[in-house]
Chains A and B, each alone.
Chain A
Amino acid sequence: MEFGLNESQEFLKESARKFFAGECPMAEVRRLMETDTAFDSNLWAKLVEQGYTGITFPEEFGGVGLGTLELIVLMEEAGRALLPGPLFSTVALAGSVLLDVASAEQKKKYLTAICRGEARATVAIPEASGSWDAADVQMSAVNGRLTGEKLFVPDAAIADWMIVVARNGVFLVESKAPSVRVELMLGMDLTRKIYSVQFENAPAEKLGETSGLSRALDIATVALAAELVGGMQRTLDLTVEYAKTRKQFGKPIGMFQAVQHQCADMYLETESSRSAAYYAAWALQENAPDASSAASIAKIYASDASRTVGNRGIQVHGGMGFTWENDIHLYYRRAKNSENTLGDATFHRERLASLLIDAPAVSAQRA
């Protein structure tokens, strides 16, 4: 039994970190967040060149064919860099859904385009209720057409395709169709834009049934947890650095236990989130019987921990932590978006409870 990254996974992590630091430093993040879409086509082309858009997809579709754990490691580093743009929505979310739900022919068409960087996609689930549970969806396709409104759709303005979850299946809609109207929602996260999308009798191609969504959404959920881990790590690093250099009463503030213990708790929360995310990725990759509960556990812990890590980080930075120029609040804003996307901690606790309490789940008996 071995719980850790192997050499090639460590290498991927290192090179992703260097790549993001070089191509998308904080100055670039700040430039992009002031734009309408937080998207830069040159940066995206470089990601494609690295193979990141096809990292986890089979080689027959032009992907790199690596495992879920590699995707999760990449998302962790993207989170650390606070990478703007549709890596999460196109690859971890829409790509995973296409892989699990679409027909072989559809996969060839759509996934290949994603891997090659010729197209981007996103997934639309919540409606007026704000629920990420497919069971709460009201929209239905009628004669191959969709009508109604979806909310909180990530990166919709720069997606070529929208994968829409409806009551009677999962559908693909061309975003450029005149019957689709995309409007920016003013979320607090400036680095990943969210949108409302109006469908007015929009032509929709059926990909498959909603029953096929579970694993794909679990993978996307763990990808968000991993992104949160990266954000927590960066917040912790910034905070420890600040505590070592900022002096009050003639001493670095990191010498005071009231400050030091906040940092120790940030470390515990970050590492625990990482353990949960890595394990969930492995469990999904291996189709372990507890894969779904592991995904929920990762999202529960990372959602809550990223908030407390952010709280502590801002507090330790004092007045500096409350300024616009300090980067911590940008991570704090992203964390709130990630916390809410694909179900917050409360949502996943209820999901875990139903797995543990209502069904005599395998996961409950596992030692």
Chain B
Amino acid sequence: MDLRLTKEEVAFRDEFRAWLEAKVPRDWPNWREKPLEESFPYLRAWQRKLYEGGWAAVSWPKEYGGRSATLMQQAIFWEEMARLEAPPMANALGLGLIGPTIIAHGTAAQKERFIPKILSAEEIWCQGFSEPNAGSDLAALQTEARLDGEHYVVNGQKVWTSYGWVGDWCELVVRTDPAVPKHKGLTVLLVDMKSRGVEVRPLRQMTGESEFNEIFCRDVRVPIENVLGKVNDGWNVAVSTLMHERGAYGARLILTFKRNINRLIELSRTVQRNGRPAAQDPVLRQKLAQCFAEVEIMRLNQLRAFSRIAVTGAPGPEGSIQKLFWSELNQRLQQLAQELLGPFGQLQAEDPHAVDKGIWSYGYLRSRGNTIEAGTSEVQRNIIGHFVLGLPRSY
């Protein structure tokens, strides 16, 4: 056990830090509060810059334009991005989830066709998994694809599709064989979102924004060379995407959580409670310390999980602890912010009395989604119960 950076890790950090300090745009704070529709070209340009520097997908193998970075180096990468408050990358799903899935399951032709444009943000990707009647029970999805000559003809509806409104391509999970058990009749298709019959509608969420979309497919024709992996092996392909989703994302959040708890500690010195700074209120001191401790443990759990993956090779079900831990912790953290700010906590961005431009009222509402997206807390507990503890499957 040694939590100091190795020589290679220090070299990696120093190289990226030097690059980032020279290239990171300084005007991101002016864009951050704007709707994603407005800032998207800005984010695309930023990813392009990272791509040109060779930093867009450090986790990818070198032969596909990445740096074959270890998990610790990836953690260092996100730490540096957060430390300098760099903007996120436009093609988040393409880089984080779908690109790695294509690298793992795609044909040589698919890799050549899609991978470079994912890296450069020329083509933005979205993910067509959930359906109105297939959420936690993803394998029950009904969107059907019927073979017609050299094409699959797709009909059905997808929901909770992030980046659907801007997506050029979609990783779409469809049912190709309705006659076999539900996990065995699925196939993953790479679908051009400009195909005839694809319709995208915004889905307004409880925060008032539309991060997500619904996608309707009516007789959409997808050439058979766009099947990712084997026909009727789509469940395995989709699961490898989900593992990336649950494992790696937590690492990027740690710095955000650290920044948030440190900001709350800072605010506690000025916010008044019973005629004195909240920092002197014994109850709030208890709660701030508890929250700080849990954020630190989230970091430590992540480092431990990374070390274990480095030994075993692949992200395993342990990722479910991390998702469960951070999503519920964020709800506690946001509630603590509300308690600390009192009546000011509820104020939204446009109100002149809002604290920190309303991020705490937004965060409070947005955090409710954390325990649902990327696998509900209930599904995470099922995974731990069955796959980690070996209890019999409950469903």
Contacts and interface: CB of A to CB of B under 8 A. Distances in A.
A350 B286 contact: yes
B289 A268 contact: no
A346 to B, nearest CB: 7
A352 B3 CA distance: 22
Contacts of B268: 357
B392 A254 contact: yes
A240 B3 contact: no
Nearest to A243: B391
A260 to B, nearest CB: 4
A358 B307 CA distance: 34
A261 B300 contact: no
A128 interface: no
Given A254-B385, A264-B381, A367-B83, A271 B391 contact: no
Interface in B299-352: 300-301, 303-304, 306-308, 310-311, 321, 324-325
Contact of B265 (A6, A69, A271, A357): A357
A82 interface: no
Nearest to B300: A275
A108 B317 CA distance: 50
B325 A272 contact: yes
A268 B385 contact: no
A268 B324 contact: yes
B1 A272 contact: no
Contact of A4 (B6, B282, B307): B307
A229 interface: no
A19 interface: no
B3 A349 contact: no
Interface string B79-105: 100110000000000000000000000
B203 interface: no
A3 B300 contact: yes
Given A263-B389, A276-B297, A346-B286, A352 B308 contact: no
B1 A240 contact: no
A1 B3 contact: yes
Contacts of B239: none
Interface string A336-367: 00000000001011101100111000001101
A255 B72 contact: no
Contact of B289 (A6, A272, A349): A349
Query: A-side binding surface: helix, strand, loop or mixed?
Result: helix
A300 to B, nearest CB: 5
B394 A257 contact: yes
Interface string A244-268: 1000000110111100110111011
Contacts of B279: 357-358
Contacts of B255: 367
A261 B391 CA distance: 10
Contacts of B392: 244, 251-252, 254-255
Contacts of A358: 279
Interface string B110-151: 000000000000000000000000000000000000000000
Contact of B3 (A3, A261, A296, A350): A3
Contacts of B311: 4
A33 to B, nearest CB: 29
Contact of B288 (A5, A244, A272, A353): A353
Interface residues of A, number: 48
Nearest to B292: A356
A279 B378 contact: no
A279 B302 CA distance: 12
Given A260-B382, A367-B79, A240 B288 contact: no
Nearest to A239: B389
Contacts of B1: 2-6, 9, 69, 278, 282
A2 B4 CA distance: 8
Contacts of A6: 1
A243 B300 CA distance: 29
A4 B325 contact: no
Contacts, number: 161
A271 B321 contact: yes
Given A243-B391, A282-B3, A300-B293, A261 B378 contact: yes
Contacts of A2: 1-3, 307, 310
A240 B265 contact: no
Interface in B270-309: 279, 282, 285-286, 288-290, 292-294, 296-297, 300-301, 303-304, 306-308
B211 interface: no
A276 B297 CA distance: 6
Contact of A268 (B9, B79, B83, B321): B321
Contact of A350 (B282, B307, B380, B389): B282
Contacts of A365: 262
B5 interface: yes
Given A263-B389, A271-B321, A275-B300, A349 B5 contact: no
B174 to A, nearest CB: 29
Contacts of B82: 367
Interface string B372-395: 000000101110111011111111
Given A272-B301, A349-B286, A352-B292, A240 B262 contact: no
B184 interface: no
Nearest to B277: A357
Contacts of A267: 321, 384, 388-389
A297 interface: yes
A272 B318 CA distance: 12
Nearest to A236: B389
Interface of B: 1-6, 9, 72, 79, 82-83, 255, 258, 262, 265, 268-269, 279, 282, 285-286, 288-290, 292-294, 296-297, 300-301, 303-304, 306-308, 310-311, 321, 324-325, 378, 380-382, 384-386, 388-395
Given A276-B296, A358-B279, 13 more contacts: A1-B72, A3-B307, A4-B311, A69-B1, A243-B391, A251-B392, A267-B321, A268-B384, A275-B297, A282-B2, A300-B293, A349-B289, A367-B79
Closest 6 CB pairs of A and B: A260-B385, A264-B384, A264-B381, A254-B391, A353-B285, A275-B300
11 contacts: A1-B9, A1-B72, A3-B300, A244-B390, A256-B394, A257-B385, A260-B382, A263-B384, A264-B388, A275-B304, A282-B3
